[in-house]
Chain A
Amino acid sequence: KQEVTQIPAALSVPEGENLVLNCSFTDSAIYNLQWFRQDPGKGLTSLLLIQSSQREQTSGRLNASLDKSSGRSTLYIAASQPGDSATYLCAVKTGAGSYQLTFGKGTKLSVIP
């Protein structure tokens, strides 16, 4: 059974700092991995999707990497801003043909002005 862990559960940083969020998974036979952000009381917004054949994906100030062999992914946020404050979740899909994802419990990020 796939398990996804995100450490730390919460993180507080000053504005402008670069930061890394971590995600680990127990079964390395994944199909893809997605990073989401969730604002309070809202749904999830997809940030980056990394297919199993890829090593990283970039979008603006965000960069996500994937190391299947070690069961790890990181989300790098450059030059953090107060608007980045949210809960960040990683989700792993194991197997093709379905959208069943296994989620971590998230890292709650606070960027202090």
Chain B
Amino acid sequence: KAGVTQTPRYLIKTRGQQVTLSCSPISGHRSVSWYQQTPGQGLQFLFEYFSETQRNKGNFPGRFSGRQFSNSRSEMNVSTLELGDSALYLCASSLGARGDSPLHFGNGTRLTVT
């Protein structure tokens, strides 16, 4: 069974641009959540989708948005990029609806903003 796939693996953007990251969950998983990982703040929750609906959102500005498609694939978008958005963005999928199943993470997208 294929794991969680994130594309692209690396991205370099300049300030003010926007970026879209993609995540394909494990087949059959309907929950997809996104996390930002930085050396200073560690892992921080961005948002979570289940059956195309956003169920929860972390404490990030509105420049960070996401969506989930009917096949459970998810995208996140960051507009008007800032230097502080440089981070590893991780996507995770899970099987259940109640949050009591293990999370399976992709290898992440490393975003560098210059």
Q: In the complex, A36→B35 CA distance in Å?
A: 14
Q: How many residues of A contact B (CB 8 A)?
A: 27
Q: Which of A36, A46, A100 contacts B48 (CB 8 A)?
A: A100
Contacts of A103 in B (CB 8 A): 35, 42-44
Given contact pairs A43-B107, A89-B43, A99 touches B48 in the complex (Cβ within 8 A): yes
Interface string of B88-114 (1 = CB under 8 A from A): 001010100111111111111010000
A99 touches B92 (CB 8 A): yes
**In A94-113, which residues have CB < 8 Å from any B CB?**
95-106
Query: In the complex, what distance in Å separates the CA atom of A106 from the CA atom of B92?
Result: 18
Residue B15 interfacial (CB < 8 Å): no
Chain A residues with CB below 8 A from B108, complex form: 42-43
Give Cα distance in the complex from A47 to B9, angstroms: 24
- Residues of chain B within 8 A (CB-CB) of A44 are 90, 92, 103, 105
Minimum CB–CB distance for B73 against chain A, Å: 17
Find the A residue at minimum CB distance from B47. A100
Q: Is A22 an interface residue (CB 8 A)?
A: no
Give 19 new A-B contacts, CB below 8 A, not counting A43-B106, A99-B99, A101-B43: A31-B99, A31-B100, A32-B100, A34-B103, A36-B105, A42-B108, A43-B6, A43-B105, A46-B103, A51-B100, A91-B43, A97-B99, A99-B33, A99-B48, A99-B94, A100-B33, A101-B33, A101-B45, A102-B45
Listed from nearest, the 8 A-B pairs whose CB atoms lie closest are A43-B105, A103-B43, A46-B102, A44-B105, A105-B42, A98-B56, A43-B107, A99-B33
